[in-house]
Amino acid sequence: MTKDTDAANATTLSGRAGFLLSELGSRSAGRFAVRLGPLGIAPKHYGLMELLSRNEGLTQQQLGTTLGIHRNVMVGLVDDLEKRGLAERRRHPTDRRAHAIHLTESARGLLPLARSIADEHETELLSVLDGPERAQLLALLQRLAAQPGRPADVHPGLRGSRP
Amino acid sequence: MTKDTDAANATTLSGRAGFLLSELGSRSAGRFAVRLGPLGIAPKHYGLMELLSRNEGLTQQQLGTTLGIHRNVMVGLVDDLEKRGLAERRRHPTDRRAHAIHLTESARGLLPLARSIADEHETELLSVLDGPERAQLLALLQRLAAQPGRPADVHPGLRGSRP
DNA sequence: TGTGATTGTCACTTAAGATGATTATATTCG
DNA sequence: CGAATATAATCATCTTAAGTGACAATCACA
């Protein structure tokens, strides 16, 4: 690819990585939300559950900080999970102001299902690429995501939900 | 990378291409919006102007269809550009229901500036990758974006704006 | 000619996040 | 000890952006 075609592509928007990232990310999130629909949860709930499954008993504040979500928003998120019987607020063992958030049994049953839906989604998304290409893309994306000023495994990606 | 580490990564969210795409896209759009701020336009306006610069005199409907934006929303978008003196609604030569949307002189002066901002943004975004890697990433993203059921150069990417 | 479709507009609704105040509790320090 | 300050969660409110449905003007076509 010559510099000329690069430049020509650049004004086509779809020649810019930033634009493609934004568009693909948005579409991907949208489709994932649709897939998750039958489970009665949105991508943000799945992300939260995934975090909880590895970190029982965190406070809402801690969850929020880890996920890059404001604590006021976490209230609603935990509300959602609680209403669907997927999480519960227990008394925090040492801080009576805080809640310790735990997954329910039901959530532990649902999580593998949600994971397999995420797998399907991933497969569909990457279906036009062969094995090595997928690995390559993943590696490149991870390097972009690892850039400084960017805490690990933290989302504003949870925003792009919209079911 | 073994299958084991793949599987381990997958439950880490940041091991999933879909999640990374969504997160990186959202961040990228956010930062681009900030960069564009001083010009008084959002990414969606830039995208529209880019389209108009190559297609003078389209109707709002046509613009909307091309960009994947509902015509009701196009009303507001064109309003925005008009208020900032960047676009004008002229009489459509053959259809008195429709407007022919044109860029103003001022917009033609602004566009190169906006493009250079987009270039800077692109450079920052990809700064951790070397030349060949950037080309590789771009190629992979374009292949994903070219998947069927996906009209070319069309955005829901314009959604991810939020300045 | 008249019937149905299309263009742009507007008013209304919905969804989601941001903000600020409030209550209960914890921590710090004089 | 006790007062001042900070923190956890909640709630009410605001803003923003998109989706919906209704409408007038105009077009297309039978």
DSSP secondary structure of A103-120:
E-HHHHHHHHHHHHHHHH
Report the pLDDT value the prediction gives residue A11, as an integer from 0 to 100.
57
The pLDDT of residue B122 = 93
A54: containing domain: 42-153
Phi (first) and psi of residue A155, to 5 degrees: -110, 130
> Could you give the CA distance from residue B158 to residue B101 in angstroms, rounded to a whole number?
19
pLDDT greater than 50 at residue B163: no
Asked if residue B75 belongs to a domain, the reply is yes
Q: What is the pLDDT of residue B13?
A: 73
**Residue B15 pLDDT:** 80
Query: In angstroms, rounded to a whole number, what is the distance separating the alpha carbons of residues A140 and B93?
Result: 49
* Residue B109 located in a structural domain: yes
Instruction: Kindly state whether residue B63 falls inside one of the protein's structural domains.
Output: yes
Domain count, chain A: 1
For position B140, what pLDDT does the model report?
95
Which helix (H) or strand (E) segment is A53 a member of? helix A43-54
Express each pLDDT in A67-124 by its tens digit.
889 999 999 999 999 999 999 999 999 999 999 999 999 999 999 999 999 999 999 9
pLDDT above 80: residue B160: no
Closest by Cα among B16, B4, B116 to A155: B16
User: C11 C1' – B100 CA distance, angstroms?
Assistant: 25
CATH code for the domain in which residue B85 is found: 1.10.10.10
Report the C-alpha gap between B52 and B109 in whole angstroms: 14
- Would you say residue B9 lies in a domain? no
CA B162 to chain centre: 13
pLDDT in tens, B3-62: 444 444 455 777 899 999 999 999 999 999 999 989 999 999 999 999 999 999 999 999
From chain B, the residues in CB contact with A144 under 8 A are 20, 24, 125-126, 128-129, 137
Q: Which nucleotides of C are covered by protein (CB under 7 A)?
A: 6-11, 15-21, 24-27
Contact assignment for B115 to A11 by CB distance below 8 Å: yes
Q: What are phi and psi of A88, to 5 degrees?
A: -140, 150
Residues of B in contact with A13 (CB under 8 A): 47, 50, 153, 155
User: In this structure, is residue A137 part of a structural domain?
Assistant: yes
pLDDT band at B147 (very low <50, low <70, confident <90, very high): confident
Distance (Å) of CA B81 to CA A13, B102, B118? 19, 10, 18
Residue B6 forms part of a structural domain: no
Residue A2 lies in a domain: no
Nucleic chain D contacts, protein chain A, residues 90-109, CB cut-off 7 A: 92, 95, 97-99
- Report yes or no on A56 lying in a domain: yes
Q: pLDDT tens digits, residue range A21-58? A: 999 999 999 999 999 989 999 999 999 999 999 999 99
Let me know: does A138 contact B15? Beta carbons within 8 Å: yes
Give the pLDDT confidence score for residue B6 in this predicted structure.
43
> pLDDT grade, residue A155 (50/70/90)?
very low
Residue, of B149 and B119, whose pLDDT is higher: B119
| Of residues A20 and B148, more confidently modeled | A20
Q: Quick check: B143 CB within 7 A of strand D?
A: no
Give the mean pLDDT of chain B.
84
Whether B123 and chain A come into contact, CB under 8 Å, resolves to: no
Q: Which residue is nearest to nucleotide D21 (CA to C1')?
A: B72
For the stretch B82-132, pLDDT in tens is 999 999 999 999 999 999 999 999 999 999 999 999 999 999 999 999 999
More confident residue, B6 or A64: A64
Closest CA to B102 of B56, B70, B41, B135: B56
